[in-house]
A and B are shown apart, each in its own frame.
Chain A
Amino acid sequence: MVDTNQKEFRKRDLLYVVPLWLLSLILPDPHLDHLRKESRFRRRDLFYLGGLLLLPLMWPDTHLHHLMVLAGINAILALGLSLFLGYAGQISLGHAAFFGIGVYTTAILTTRYGFPTFVAFWASALVSAALAYLIGKPILKLKGYFLALATLGFGEIFLVIVRESHSLTGGVIGIFGIPWFSLAGFSFDTYLKQYYLTWGVLIGLLLFSKNLIRSKIGRAFLAVATSEDAASTVGIKVAQIKLGAFVIGAAFAGFAGSLFACVMSTANPETFGLNLSVLIIMMVILGGMGNLYGPIAGAIFLTWLVDILGKYQEYSLPIYGLILILLLISFPDGIGTRLNIRLIYLISYFGRKKRREKAEL
């Protein structure tokens, strides 16, 4: 994957240097991550954080805030899935179901039993994670397409159960009037406040994942993704590691679902179908598998793209399909990954050139 791109120097690469350098400020670089002192808070992270904090204040536009709230929720979903798909290397086509479980847990707890949203928020993640544990235990022995199919089956079964248990979930009619997210009397009732809430949660989860992948478990994720056989020979319990990634991803989806329920104020089974699962996987793939900033960038990009396409009316989905295929063909390992590999190569090329010149002198 990496070395095919690094074979030779092309003249036109000179044209890319400046935009690539600019992009490198924004985009993550998976391969250099291991070399740096990872625990240090880097300048780039400050840049992101500042950008995030200032963005809604620079553009006081409700639509942008709303869109970024949705993007943030999608980013939480994508971040959770990227641990499973990007780090542990397994496919799940049922991630939307865990999102749905989060939404319904919050909806039921707040509207039926009057729990505060903050409690429901944590309960959503717990319920999602617990169900993921129960589901994951048997089906994670599968690999590849079969795992995709099994998770897809789980997603469909979840939808059927939601549609049919009228007394609990309101069936196809759904649940209405979920309250705003509120914390200690402070209610997040505008999109601006929800923006800070969503992205705050996302940053928290991001820090958690950052620490996680740097830990022993995180290394085990990578080992499992690379080769399950090799991982098991060095004493990694492959099944447990996969299950762990699955459960953590589901818990993230539960958080996202809880936030979504509070933002949208309704819960409805039509929202958690296969389309959403596909969209989340697309975010992870486009952002680049095997890094944490990629899925977030992918989520922002796809949420924005889908919103922009709305004005093309009937043409929006064909264009969307076409863009997806083209992006996959041109960047099969993610946009961020591909650009970064190029950049790393260029930097090393110039380094080597200098050294060569020295040697020739």
Chain B
Amino acid sequence: MTPWAYIPQLFSAGITIGAIYALVGLGFVTIARASQIINFAQGEFVMLGAMITFFLLKGGGLPYPLAALVAVILVVIIGFLLHITVLYPLRKASIPILLMATLGASIFISNTTALVFGTLPRTLPAFLGNQPLQIGGIFIVPQSLFVLGATFLLLISLYLLSHRTLLGKAMEASSTDPLGADLLGISRNLMVFLAFGVSAGMGAIAGIFITPIFYTSYHAGTLIGLKGFVAAVLGGWGKNSGAILGGFVLGVVESLSIAFIPSGYKDAVAFVILLLILYFRPKGILGSPFIDSRRW
């Protein structure tokens, strides 16, 4: 059997996983658009969203939508706390320090989760059952469609936030030209603070949507966060649409690569693409608004 025969099914699998990378990547972009900080604890928000929902659902006995809502709010609060306690005191620090601080926060959050919620991997019930749909020889779980839908809804709402509201514009201004924003009376710290809340909320939503397909566990956040970040850079650092495109490209290429090379190399594929993109077109596929600024 030639590798080409698997392509349609592999493609659909790639789209699902790509939507997940895209959802996670959006969170990175939100913070970057306000402050040019890279928050390596973003993956932990994804994990926390799913974990807290699970415990409200199973332990607290709340109905599913309510549990999800409460979880998102709690994660947003955690995002705010992360900014106040870690990144605000370090607002003048250099890149390596910020990098280490968010990584330290990631270690702290994931292991504290292990202490509070236990170490067993958990999964959430699917929104609409697990019966796979068969469309022309391709099998899809209904949950994948929800993930796709959530990706596009979040993209649209982020677009509206940054292009149709004053707040979004202020956030963007404080990132592209901090001094100019300061002169216009935009509080940069407030903008970063809000961005952390938004990105934490998006991480939590991503976690709740994707966990029914897979599972979550206290240490699952780091890897998925990393892949989401790669997706965001791939598509064009600092662009919401870039993160979405990058996520899909990454997911599909990773999935399709299986048809031609042994699956052990699957994880390397993402990073090889990353290195190629960084070398030949550091702006990413769609171009990046930040890439010419001096910090990069």
B14 within 8 A of A: no
B278 cross-chain contacts in A, Cβ below 8 A: 139, 142, 146, 149-150, 153
Decide: A332 and B93 in contact? CB cutoff 8 A: yes
Decide: A318 and B108 in contact? CB cutoff 8 A: yes
A130 within 8 A of B: no
Neighbour of A328 across the interface among B92, B95, B100, B112, CB < 8 A: B100
Assuming the A-B contacts A91-B95, A325-B108, are A160 and B264 also in contact, with contact meaning beta carbons closer than 8 angstroms in the complex? yes
Decide: A317 and B111 in contact? CB cutoff 8 A: yes
B114 within 8 A of A: yes
B229 within 8 A of A: yes
Decide: B295 and A318 in contact? CB cutoff 8 A: no
A289 cross-chain contacts in B, Cβ below 8 A: 96
Neighbour of B267 across the interface among A150, A160, A324, A325, CB < 8 A: A160
Q: A92's closest neighbor in chain B, by CB?
A: B96
Whole-angstrom distance from the CB of B235 to the nearest CB of chain A?
14
A156 cross-chain contacts in B, Cβ below 8 A: 267-268, 271
Scoring B residues 100 to 114 as 1 if CB is less than 8 Å from chain A, else 0, what string do you get?
110111111101101
Q: Counting chain B CB atoms within 10 Å of each CB, which of A142, A318, A322 scores highest?
A: A318
A176 cross-chain contacts in B, Cβ below 8 A: none
Decide: B101 and A314 in contact? CB cutoff 8 A: no
Cα(A146)–Cα(B288), bound, Å: 13
Assuming the A-B contacts A153-B275, A329-B90, are A144 and B115 also in contact, with contact meaning beta carbons closer than 8 angstroms in the complex? no
Cα(A12)–Cα(B296), bound, Å: 41
Q: Counting chain A CB atoms within 10 Å of each CB, which of B89, B106, B111, B230 scores highest?
A: B111
Scoring B residues 265 to 294 as 1 if CB is less than 8 Å from chain A, else 0, what string do you get?
101100110110011001000000000000
A324 cross-chain contacts in B, Cβ below 8 A: 100-101, 104, 107
A26 within 8 A of B: no
Interface residues of A in 276-328 (CB under 8 A from B): 278, 281-282, 285, 289, 314-315, 317-318, 320-322, 324-325, 328
B78 cross-chain contacts in A, Cβ below 8 A: none
B71 within 8 A of A: no
Q: Counting chain B CB atoms within 10 Å of each CB, which of A85, A314, A321, A322 scores highest?
A: A321
Scoring A residues 136 to 150 as 1 if CB is less than 8 Å from chain B, else 0, what string do you get?
001101111110111
B233 within 8 A of A: yes
Neighbour of A146 across the interface among B93, B99, B233, CB < 8 A: B233
Assuming the A-B contacts A139-B279, A149-B278, are A325 and B271 also in contact, with contact meaning beta carbons closer than 8 angstroms in the complex? no
A66 within 8 A of B: no
Neighbour of A281 across the interface among B89, B96, B229, B275, CB < 8 A: B96
B86 within 8 A of A: yes
Whole-angstrom distance from the CB of A320 to the nearest CB of chain B?
7
Decide: A314 and B233 in contact? CB cutoff 8 A: no
A157 within 8 A of B: yes
B89 cross-chain contacts in A, Cβ below 8 A: 329
Cα(A13)–Cα(B89), bound, Å: 22
Q: Counting chain A CB atoms within 10 Å of each CB, which of B86, B99, B104, B262 scores highest?
A: B104
A164 within 8 A of B: yes
Decide: A325 and B101 in contact? CB cutoff 8 A: yes
Scoring A residues 331 to 348 as 1 if CB is less than 8 Å from chain B, else 0, what string do you get?
011000000000000000
Assuming the A-B contacts A150-B274, A160-B267, A329-B86, are A145 and B114 also in contact, with contact meaning beta carbons closer than 8 angstroms in the complex? no
Decide: B274 and A148 in contact? CB cutoff 8 A: no
Decide: A160 and B265 in contact? CB cutoff 8 A: yes
Q: A148's closest neighbor in chain B, by CB?
A: B99
Cα(A332)–Cα(B101), bound, Å: 10
Decide: B112 and A153 in contact? CB cutoff 8 A: no
Whole-angstrom distance from the CB of B34 to the nearest CB of chain A?
15
A118 within 8 A of B: no
B38 within 8 A of A: yes
B133 within 8 A of A: no
Cα(A157)–Cα(B115), bound, Å: 32
List the 3 closest A-B pairs by CB distance, nearest first.
Answer: A321-B108, A153-B271, A321-B107
Task: Taking A160-B267, A314-B111 as given, write out 10 further A-B residue pairs in contact, using a Cβ cutoff of 8 Å, ordered by the A residue number.
Answer: A143-B296, A153-B275, A156-B268, A157-B272, A278-B100, A321-B111, A322-B108, A325-B104, A329-B90, A329-B101
30 contacts between A and B (CB under 8 A): A91-B95, A91-B96, A91-B99, A139-B279, A142-B282, A146-B233, A146-B282, A149-B229, A150-B278, A153-B272, A153-B274, A156-B267, A156-B271, A157-B268, A157-B271, A160-B264, A164-B262, A278-B103, A285-B96, A285-B100, A317-B108, A317-B111, A318-B115, A325-B101, A325-B105, A328-B104, A329-B86, A329-B101, A332-B92, A332-B97
Interface set of A (CB-CB < 8 Å, partner B) = 85, 91, 93, 138-139, 141-146, 148-150, 152-154, 156-157, 160-161, 163-164, 274, 278, 281-282, 285, 289, 314-315, 317-318, 320-322, 324-325, 328-329, 332-333
